[in-house]
Amino acid sequence: MIGIVKRRIYYSAMTDALFVDDPLNDPSIRSLNLLGVTSRDALDHWIYRRHRVKDAYTCNKKLKWLLYEGHRLEYNSLKNCLSAMPATERSKYIASLPDSSEHKSKLMRVDKIMPFLGSGGIAAYDYALYLALAQTGVRLGYITIREARVFSHEIARIAQRQYVSWDEYNVGCIAGMYYSAPPEGGEVMPYSTYNQYMITRLLARRFSAKKLIGWQTRL
């Protein structure tokens, strides 16, 4: 078992990919630990604008959703649907849907990312987002430090059972970000382009928390 400081390092490593994508539109906020010193106004704006969290009730509701369902629930449903079809049939089915259909956009994304993911799928994104929202919730007074610690610990242990390494976890997180990102102009960026861009940025980080702690560290 490790202490609180080491756990915080571990949780920070679990959100590395999330913060590489600059979720708060502020490049100075480069890690989970910096949320504790970020202005309340900036956090309040982000957590409401992007996640519709505005009070203790909506914060707990969002965290429970990420813990028990998350983006992975819909992704897994669509993946199972496509997996039941031969590759040629998948392409025909997706092409037959209206271009303006959100369902089509999501299926296109799933079709692009599912060959690269293991059984954990995009769950890593839900877990990274949970950790970031929980930390923000504590800062804004929506949840207690104890609540955040207990469930963050549980999230990390679940992630360790679903992924075998930091690399596999980060690939799952990046895929989840790709899947859940709102489409721009109806275009879906090639997943290989997005993934390579994100991996390159991750590798370029000088102070990556994952360099300080192993994936299978007993929590």
The stretches in the chain having pLDDT less than 50 are none
pLDDT at position 183 is 56
Domain-wise residue ranges, the chain: 4-211
DSSP for the chain?
---HHHHHHHHHHHTHHHHHT-TTS-TT--SGGGGGGS-HHHHHHHHHHTT---SHHHHHHHHHHHHHTHHHHHHHHHHHHHHTS-HHHHHHHHHHS-TT-HHHHHHHHHHHHGGG--TTTTHHHHHHHHHHHHHHHHHHTSS-HHHHHHHHHHHHHHHHHH-SSHHHHHHHHHHHHHHHSPPBTTB---HHHHHHHHHHHHHH-TT-GGGTS-TT---
pLDDT at position 173 is 96
> How is residue 87 written in tokens?
């590759």
Q: Which residues pair with 160 in a beta bridge?
A: none
pLDDT at position 55 is 95
pLDDT at position 197 is 87
pLDDT at position 22 is 75
* pTM (predicted TM-score): 0.90
pLDDT at position 188 is 64
